[in-house]
Each structure stands twice: as structure tokens, then as C-alpha cells.
Amino acid sequence: MPKLVQSRPPVANSGSSPSPEEIKAQLSAILASPAFLGSKRCQQFLEYVCLRYIAGDLGSLKERSIAIEVFGRSPQTHLGDDTIVRVSAREVRKRLAQYYVTEAGMNSAIVIDLPSGSYVPEVRYESAPLTETVEAIEPAVRPSGAPRWKFAAAAVLLIVLAASGSWLYLRYPSNQNKQAFNSFWLPVLSSNEPMLVAVGHPIVYHASWRAHRLSEQKKPAATIPAQTEIQVAPELLNGSDIIPVKNQYVGYGDLVAANEVSKMLARHNKDVRVRLASSLELSDLRQTQTFLIGAITNRWTMELQSGWRFQFARSGEQLTVIRDTQSNPPVDWAIPAKEDGSTAEDYILVCRVKTPMAGGLQIVVAGLKQFGTEAGGRLVADPEQIGAILRTLEPGWENRNVQLVLHSRVIGNTPTQPEVVAKHLW
């Protein structure tokens, strides 16, 4: 009869703690694994806490320290509202669990864990996984009396186990998110052409040289004049002191969105071409898939939106709003107007549409302010964020036009992860 023998190969140094070199090697393997490659945020989080652990700096493994050092939050951030550290920690724990059920994880001699309720990693040696050996059947030839149905049953069992493995893979929300993310970007990733990234082109107004000279009469010129506010009495200025400057500036939110999507596409070996939208013609949009960044600062966002349900518009108070054109009366999503550009919230329009006028696919990310554009750019480049939203859409969305209206809070000039307030497919 066959005999099943289970054994565990011995693990070196099983009575001590892993060395810093061993921990770093295991950390590198985890960060390079499929479980972590899809989330730069989780990679940065795990790397930070592990390196602080190795350095013995456990005092820095607090929520506020991680918020500042890893996610760039200000020291004044209200962590009761901004949950990025807690959310990221939960995601890291989930991804670590996914890694350690893979073949590479199960064969790892070292386990890195992040216990619930703590940001201090737990690092330990782990026994190697069970290995199975089967002694040869004696005699080597199956006895004639052995029933054939047992071998057929074994074959069926193997098939069922393989199928259940795929089913279990898809049960993980993270894997489902990634699958939805891939479907969202598939037309771009499968195209032979580079993606065209069309950035908004805001008009920036400079003060005239005359205004600068008037200001310097009251206050000496600073070492870096462009970083000094002009102080001139309003009655001394006129319209000629405001000089429009075109096609020389890019908004910060637009820059972040372009950078996040470009990095994501680079990880998929996809090239991009970045251009100011003002320099593009309709023929450029017809030749490739296009990523349009910005609303009223991007001429093509405004020109192509005529057939969309959700559109950018001007309200009676001269505010830019996102308008639901199919509601009666129209519903507007707007934020209070402040001349200094600050806001405590923002609304974002994310679209994946094929516009007949342009012909190709357009992916659009645009906030009412720069904060929304920044948050939208991070969202569409992150499989976890956009994938979780896409999974809530009705089946078949992959072959339809998609529009999402989202809302993001702004804390200390940093937008939070957006939440969906409206969606439309056609």
C-alpha cells in the first residue's frame, strides 16, 4: 500500500531572531511579490515599519509619525478624520496574508507580520512547509484486483482542486479589484500606440514690471522676488499691470495626476506622450488613447463633454460646478468660492468614454479644484481604489462608457481618498 510521509526540513537558527540582513532579504522578496506590486502605498508602509524595526526605532512606529514620514501629512493633521495610516495598515495585513499562502510565502523561512492594533512588525523564523513524499508501491505494477474507479476519482479530485484554487484566488477582494482595474485600462494597455497625456493649460497672471517697482519703493526687493508678495495700493494699479501668461504653467494637481498614471503605465511597459492640451488638434486625439487632465483648464475636456450626462458648467454665481444634465431640475455639485483657492472639499469627475467626435478612448480626471484632480489621478492609477469602485458597477460595464462623480475632503491641502456620489453607464 502507498504510504504518505510528512516531514519538515530543519530551519537554521530556529531558536534565535532573524538577523537584519535576513529581514531585509525577506522584505525585498515580499515587496517584489505580486501581492504588493499593485500598491506603492503598501510597499512604502511595510518598508518603513520594517526598517524602523531593524534600526530599533520603535518609538517612531506611531500613527502620527507614519502619517508624516510615509504619507507626507503635516504635523497638524487631524488623524481622527484622516484615516490613511489605519486603512493602509489593514491593507498591508491583508497583502501579507496573501503573500504567505503563495508558494514563495509558504517556503519562506522568515515570517514578517503586522499584528492587529499595532504598527510594530513581528518578525520570526518559521518552520518550512510540510513536504510530502510517497513511497513506491510494492509491487511496482498495480495489482490486477485494484479497482480502476479509485484512479479516476483521484484524477477528478485533482481537477476540482485546481478549479477551487482559481475560485479562491478570485474570492480575495484585492484580486477582484486588480481584475477590474485591468479591465478599465485594457484598451490602453493592449494598444500598440503610446498613451497621450493631455495636461490642462491654465492662464497665469503676472504683475507688470511697473507694479514690481512700485512695490519695491515700499519694501526692498527680496533675494527671490518671485516668492515675495507685491504690496501696492489698489488705486495705484490699472489693467495693464496684470499680464496674462499662456501655456507656461501646469497646476500641481495636474502634475500629480500625470505622474501617477505615467508611473503606473511604466510598470506595465506602456509609453506615454505628455502634451499641453492647448497644443493638440482633434486629429491627435483620433490617433491614440488619451488621458485628459483638468476641467476648465483643458480645452478638450470642455469640447468633448457635450454628449456626457455629467458635465462641467458655470452656475449663476459664476462658480464651476459638475452638473447632472439629465436630472430635472439639474443637480449641481459645487464647492464654496474662495479667492485664495483654498477649500475643505472637492468634487471630481472621472470618465472612461469613447466620444464619436474624437474616435479614440478618453480617460478623463478633473476636479473642480486642483485637489480633486490630484485625488482622481491617484485613484485611477491605484488598482485597490478604482477596482473597489468598478466592482460596484453593473455587469458589462467593461464594454460601456463610464462616468463617476466623486467627493474628497481636503485636509491641510491634501485630498483624502474619494468616495462615489453618482455614477452613469451608457
List alpha helices for 172-286, DSSP H: 173-189, 209-218, 252-267, 282-286
Question: What digits encode the pLDDT tens for the residues 43-102?
Answer: 999 999 999 999 998 888 999 999 999 988 888 888 877 889 999 999 999 999 889 888
Domains defined for the chain, CATH in brackets: 4-125 (no CATH), 180-202+249-425 (3.30.379.10), 206-245 (no CATH)
The CA angle 225-226-231, to the nearest 5 degrees, is 70
Are 376 and 365 contacting, i.e. CB atoms less than 8 angstroms apart? yes
Q: How far is CA 254 from the centre of its chain?
A: 15
Return the bridge partners of 292, or none.
198, 364
Which phi-psi region, left, alpha or beta, contains residue 247 (left: φ > 0; alpha: ψ -120 to 50)? left
One-letter amino acid for residue 116 of the chain: S
Specify which residues 310 forms β-bridges with.
324
How many other CB atoms are there within 10 angstroms of residue 28's CB atom?
11
If one counts every other C-beta atom within 10 angstroms of the C-beta of residue 400, the result is 14
Q: What is the length of the chain?
A: 426
Q: What contacts 203, CB < 8 A, 6 or more positions away?
A: 244, 245, 246
* 167-205 confidence digits (pLDDT tens): 444 455 678 888 999 999 999 998 888 999 999 988 888
3-state SS class at 425: strand
Is residue 251 a contact partner of residue 192, using CB atoms and an 8 Å limit?
no
- 124 φ, ψ (degrees, to nearest 5): -155, 160
The per-residue pLDDT for range 130-160, each reduced to its tens digit, is: 333 333 333 334 444 445 555 555 555 555 5
pLDDT top residue among 108 and 173: 108
Record the cell numbers describing residue 243, joined without a space: 499680464
